[in-house]
Structure 1
Amino acid sequence: MMLCEECPTNPACHNCLHALRAGAAKKVVPARKVRVTLESGQTALAELRAISRTAIGLYCKQETLSAQVEVELAADFRIVGSAFQGIRDVPYYVLDIEKVLRREEVLERLLLDEFLQWHRRRDPLTDEWPLELRQPEDERHRMIKEELQKLSILRQVQSIYLYVMENGVVRPIGGQMIEEKMTEDLKRVAEEAVWSGSAVREQLVSADGKRMFELYASPLPDQTCGLALIDVTEAIAAERKRQQKEWELYKQVMGAVTQDKLILLTDQELHELTERGKQVASITITSAEDLASLRTECKKIMAPLAMPEKRSLQFLVAVNEAATNTLKHGSGGTVTIYICREERLLRVIVHDRGQGILLEELPNATLRQGYSSKHSLGVGFHVMLQFCYRLLVGTSSVGTKLVLEAIIP
């Protein structure tokens, strides 16, 4: 995979987006100039070429981007994350977002989606409301309670901190200010709620980047505003842990059923696989005519590898089936071929442009012969499983990746 010469303005090329390994990725057209600060303190200019909810794509010729990097998109909008080279031999880097400081308009963290999933599954637990909210000190507190009840925000969370803004000053209702550095953010959101006359919701990150908050602001009479700041750090961590355990369970069961011939992959594991091999070809599949070119290229690559003729033919059939599926279940895709001498493996990665496969549908989509749905990998999947040394599957909202492996002498 390479960047095209017209990147990112060429609508037909998606390489800069595929490198992000994330859903709902978009090109930034025209590319936006940004300032990058490295871990060493050095700065460099780069181009923001692609964005998603969890990562951004940067083109930077001045410096090699790795480890912790801070990107300044605007005076009050910065992104902090871990960077790595997204496309081999090209100064195009992927930065996995870890912190968003003063979110403006284009990026949100994936953890916000995770929080929403968690948030929707729980009902209000009024018995666990703070004492100060259940027994208000005055009429203003009672009014704040009523407004917050309308928003249905008092959930089972780690901590809830209540505030009121009066005459442009934010003060806590009982207790201490959770973080002085958040005062300006609280005031800004409260003023927005007062100005709009409706409730406002926003996500905030603590100054050290270790805690995540949901902030709700509800306007009150006389240009005042009630605020609830909810610490959801542990809730999000618990949701991530649950999802990880669910993924590991599916992985273990499917591996056991197939004697470890079928393996589920995370995006990170897939990236590590490609790092261990040498890329020798990349073919774009957009029509049935491209399949013939793919078969020709595969034969040319396998010829000097001295693979037994029968095994070469079987592996070619498996690769052709995987590539054919990109046309049947999506709008095409890419086939990238790697040779890994150290592991004695020929590795072919087939990436379609479909909507991915839901985790709960993976067993049926891969192991149940004759199963058919928009998420199915098709009847040819059993051919792939039979004719490959191993078959690895990774799937997300930006498509499904099949990794077909064959042993080479």
Structure 2
Amino acid sequence: MRHKTINETNPYRDFLIRGGIVSLIIAVALAIFEIANMFILDNFVLPKYVNLLIEIGMLTVEMIPTLYFFVYKPMKFLLNKDLERTKQQKEQIFKVYSDVLYSASQGKINLWETDQIAPLNQEGELIGHIMLKRSEDVNNARELTTKILKKHHVEQKRSNHIILCVSEATTNVIKHAFYGHLEIRKLDNSYLRIFISDSGPGMDLQKLPNFLLLQGFSTKDSMGVGFTLMFKYAEKVYLAPWSHGTILALDFAI
């Protein structure tokens, strides 16, 4: 068990200490303002509206630091703590799903963060690219894939499997996202990587194991259909949510 050292600070204790010091400063400042207020009003004969303006001004000067240090600062502090706790919980949930999927698929399915998966579209040689925005782009993606597979003399049965996966992935982009991109990269003499990114609603982690591993499971989320086929035919499946959608990479032996 790890023990705290003398030098470690407690954020709650620090916050209370700062709050006490600030409270003392505000109390002194308010006292000074009250004395100044009494001096001005008691020693000068001023019109009523001027006295009223002075009262309002003094009250404003008194209220601003009070609201700032006793309302805004505590609320901001608590909100930041809550946001940090929520972020940590999401990261823990993501890691659990990532570990479970990796183990259940024997290392075939890799659920990664965006910064992990992004470099995958820099590996190898880019040999094909299509923007996915219209329904006819699905057919264009199939034709591009077919052309590339023929050029590399991939056997017909294997080609059909890869084209089917490309068709499923690009169809999901058209159906469930605003637009997307497909890239085909040649990694070496024996592998192709299909890299697809979309701008859509993203993934629901709670449904992720279902649409990845259960045959026929469907969802309205982007890339929510056809994952069982991709899992069956691809050697590796890389998947990552990002702020605007989903990123998918499929590695195929050819």
TM-score, length-scaled by structure 2: 0.67
Cα gap change, 1:245/1:262 in structure 2, threshold over 3 Å: closer, same or farther? same
SS in 2 for 1:252: helix
192, 195, 202: which is aligned to 1:346? Answer: 192
- What is the letter of the counterpart of residue 115 of structure 2? Q
Partner amino acid, structure 2, of 1:322: A
Pairing 1:260–2:117 present: no
Q: 1:393 and 2:239 equivalent? A: yes
Partner-residue secondary structure (3-state), 2:165 = helix
In percent, how many aligned pairs have the same letter? 25
Identify the match of residue 374 of structure 1 among 208, 220, 228.
220
CA distance in 1, matches of 2:160, 2:13: 58
Greater helix fraction, Structure 1 or Structure 2: 2
Which residue of the other structure, out of 225, 238, 245, is the alignment partner of 2:92? 245
Give the corresponding residue for 2:169: 322
Change (3 A) 1:307 1:249: same
- Partners of 2:222 and 2:22 lie apart in 1 by 54
- 1:287 aligned onto 2:134: yes
Q: Relative to 1, partners in 2 of residues 1:245 and 1:319: Cα closer, same or farther, differing over 3 Å?
A: same
SS at match of 2:207: helix
Corresponding position of 2:180: 333
Relative to its length, the structure with more strand (as a share) is 1
Give the 3 Å change call, closer, same or farther, for CA 158–282 of structure 1 in structure 2: farther
Deviates more, 1:224-233 or 1:241-250: 224-233
Post-superposition offset of 1:335 = 0.7
Find the partner of 1:221 among 26, 40, 59: 59
CA displacement, residues 202-243 of structure 1 (integer Å, 9 cap, x when unaligned):
xxxxxxxxxxxxxxxxxx934222215466788766654443
Name the amino acid aligned to 1:386: K
Taking the aligned partners of 2:236 and 2:90, their CA distance within structure 1 comes to 25
In structure 1, distance between residues paired with 2:13 and 2:123: 42
For residues 229 and 13 of structure 2, the distance between their equivalents in structure 1, rounded to whole angstroms, comes to: 50
> What do residues 98-144 of structure 1 show as CA deviations (whole Å, max 9, x unaligned)?
xxxxxxxxxxxxxxxxxxxxxxxxxxxxxxxxxxxxxxxxxxxxxxx
Q: Secondary structure at the match of 1:223?
A: helix
CA-to-aligned-CA distance 1:278-301 (integer Å, 9 cap, x gap): 222220122222222212211222
Aligned partner letter, 2:149: M
Structure 2 segments unaligned to the other structure (5+ residues): 1-10, 26-57
User: Match of 2:204?
Assistant: 358
C-alpha contact 1:285 1:332 (8 A) present in aligned 2: yes
Change (3 A) 1:159 1:391: same
Distance, in Å, in 2 between the alignment partners of 1:287 and 1:322 is 14
CA distance in structure 2 between the aligned counterparts of 1:174 and 1:280, rounded to whole angstroms: 69
Quick one: structure 1 residues 158 and 361, their matched pair in 2 at CA, closer, same or farther if it must change by over 3 Å? farther
**5 Å matches for 1:117-136?**
none
How many residues end up aligned between the 2 structures? 201
Supply the distance in 2 between the matched residues of 1:338 and 1:346 (Cα, whole angstroms). 6
8 Å CA contact 2:200–2:222 kept in 1: the answer is no
State the Cα RMSD in Å. Answer: 3.0
The answer on whether the counterparts of 2:202 and 2:222 sit within 8 Å (CA) in structure 1 is: no
Counterpart Cα distance in 2 of 1:340 and 1:221 = 71
Whether contact under 8 Å (1:366, 1:376) holds in the other structure is no
Which of 172, 175, 179 is equivalent to 2:22? 172
What TM-score results when the alignment is normalised by the length of structure 1?
Answer: 0.44
Distance change in 2, residues 1:327/1:162 (3 Å):
same
Which secondary structure does the structure 2 equivalent of 1:359 belong to? Answer: coil
The partner residue of 2:248 within 402, 405, 409 is 402
Higher RCO, 1 vs 2 (CA within 8 Å, ≥6 residues apart): 2
Secondary structure of the residue aligned to 2:219 is coil
- Counterpart CA distance in 2 for 1:245 and 1:332 is 30
List aligned pairs for 1:39-118, cutoff 5 A. Answer: none
Q: Give unpaired runs (5+ residues) of structure 1.
A: 1-155, 164-170, 176-219
* Cα distance in 1, alignment partners of residues 22 and 205 from structure 2: 44
Match of 1:308 in 2: 155
Of the three residues 115, 138, 162, the one matched with 2:19 is 162
Offset of residue 375 of structure 1? 2.0
